[in-house]
Chain A
């Protein structure tokens, strides 16, 4: 039958033109297309890989950060606690010291006061004595200015004085 009888002319042209096209397309189309596809796929897979790596790094970094933060937090707490303790100690110490100082000062003051008091008392005693003597002197001078009175005084004194 006509349909299944291959025509020579068509086979001839097919071999010639298909061969040429195969060569041309291979050189100018398939080679660049396939190369570019490969390159692009490589770029994409590289990009994906690096993205994955970056993600992992980020996660690691985040975990590190978290750890650092936790450590810092702990350290801060520690420091705060220490500071609080130190404060307490210092305050307590200060209080004690202040008390002691106050007590010491009080004691000194008290001693001073008692010393002053004694001195004052002594002085007062002396003064009183002197004053008494002066008063007595003045009184005597005045009383004995009058001879009668002198006699009267002597009399009274003698009167009081019992001669045993």
Chain B
């Protein structure tokens, strides 16, 4: 037993070190890729079958691989592949050459432009004076050169893959929770059934263990936001783990989304802040003036730091999970390039680890939703808290 644990521990340590090394090398590769800005997603197609069998990352990888084929070019670039799959895109890649084109909506000094992203032909064609360059839309002149002035004026509110995924997840939420609410109003005071029985423990968990515990008696006001955020993050984390459409977008691992959520938390905290809350920030009662000189800037910084940390934590956790899972897949291709046998051998190991990582990600999916909700609740709690005997506390 002890030996087993020891064995597992050393195995785990090695595996962790190994995976860290891989992630590091991926980042290096990305940096490298950025320097050179070389176009072309390139890989050989030996491991297509293996890759297609598994997660969305693999599906994407296979797609990329086929892209590479189309180019007829050289090496598999793990960093590029991974970054393309944790980042946003203007079309929703399904498999092989098949992808769903999404609407491009641009407003620039040229005016409003709305068209399908299929017009870009995956970056191979200009359309309407715009060009898709490394996932970004830039304005081009008649002669094909990039027009920096107009590019700077572009407001890109295209429905990207993440935006589409956002809409899908929100529609799922609407359908699920309104139907659950209907179930409640239809059969009041009866035991929960079906979907209701799945949702109810989570709702009660958020209410009792998050809101009531952190905010106190005024928790009711914040319940709608806390519940919405909890389920939004949880559902999107889970959707991110689903390899095929409508899952697969890395929504909660997108900094724009986590930033928006953090801003919501920040705004709600700020507008609900009591006099006490602000007094504790600007001039902590019971603290000597010379300490305040030091403390007040820290407190004020803390006000902004809190949502910032919320944003980074969710983004980093989810993105890291995706990157690690993708890294294990890249191993297949990297070793497959050396020899097909090595690729096959590594695929067993990679698959096992990806399964393990996916299980971890299931835990993380819940954990991060919980942590974000809990911290938001704690911030709301500090905003509405009443210090009756503030002096005694300090």
Contact = CB atoms under 8 A, between A and B. Distances in A.
B87 A3 contact: yes
Contacts of B173: 21, 25
Interface in B119-162: 135, 155-160, 162
B174 A21 contact: yes
B207 A34 contact: yes
Interface in B301-326: 315, 319
A145 to B, nearest CB: 143
A5 interface: yes
Interface string A21-49: 11011101111111011011001000000
A40 B188 contact: yes
B210 to A, nearest CB: 13
A17 B181 contact: no
The residue among A8, A22, A43 with the most chain B CB atoms within 10 A of its own CB is A22
Could you tell me the dominant secondary structure of chain A's interface residues? helix
B328 interface: no
Interface string A1-23: 11111111111111101100110
A14 B256 contact: yes
A29 to B, nearest CB: 4
A11 B260 contact: yes
A13 B203 contact: no
Nearest to A22: B228
Nearest to B253: A3
B355 interface: no
Contacts of A11: 256, 259-260
B162 A10 contact: yes
Contacts of A24: 174, 178
Contact of B83 (A3, A5, A22, A36): A3
A60 B174 CA distance: 53
Contact of B160 (A9, A28, A29): A9
B3 interface: no
Given A3-B86, A11-B260, A28 B181 contact: yes
B293 interface: no
B209 interface: no
B156 A7 contact: yes
Contacts of A30: 177, 181, 223-224, 227-228
Contact of A10 (B180, B220, B254): B254
Contact of B156 (A5, A8, A31): A8
Instruction: Please classify how large the interface on chain B is, using the bins under 10, 10 to 19, 20 to 34, 35 or more.
Output: 35 or more
B232 interface: yes
Interface string B158-181: 111011001100100110011011
B189 interface: yes
B184 A32 contact: yes
Contacts of B203: 33-34, 37
Contacts of A26: 224, 228
A17 B260 CA distance: 11
Given A6-B256, A13-B157, A39-B189, A29 B180 contact: yes
Nearest to B188: A36
Interface residues of A, number: 34
B245 interface: no
Contacts of B227: 25, 30
B38 interface: no
B264 interface: yes
B74 interface: no
Contacts of B223: 30, 34
A8 B106 CA distance: 11
Nearest to B257: A14
Nearest to B185: A32
Contacts of A28: 177-178, 181
B200 A37 contact: yes
Contact of A25 (B156, B174, B220): B174
B232 to A, nearest CB: 7
A36 B185 CA distance: 7
B33 to A, nearest CB: 10
The residue among A26, A36, A37 with the most chain B CB atoms within 10 A of its own CB is A36
B233 to A, nearest CB: 11
Contact of A12 (B157, B199, B200, B264): B157
Nearest to B203: A33
Contact of A32 (B86, B181, B225, B255): B181
29 contacts: A1-B34, A3-B83, A3-B87, A4-B315, A7-B160, A9-B163, A10-B162, A13-B163, A14-B256, A14-B257, A17-B167, A17-B170, A18-B228, A21-B174, A21-B232, A22-B224, A24-B178, A25-B174, A25-B227, A26-B224, A26-B228, A28-B181, A29-B180, A30-B177, A31-B224, A33-B184, A37-B200, A39-B189, A43-B189
Given A9-B163, A10-B257, 11 more contacts: A3-B83, A10-B163, A14-B256, A17-B170, A21-B173, A21-B174, A21-B232, A32-B185, A34-B203, A37-B204, A40-B189
8 nearest CB pairs, A to B: A29-B177, A26-B224, A6-B256, A10-B256, A36-B184, A14-B260, A9-B157, A32-B181
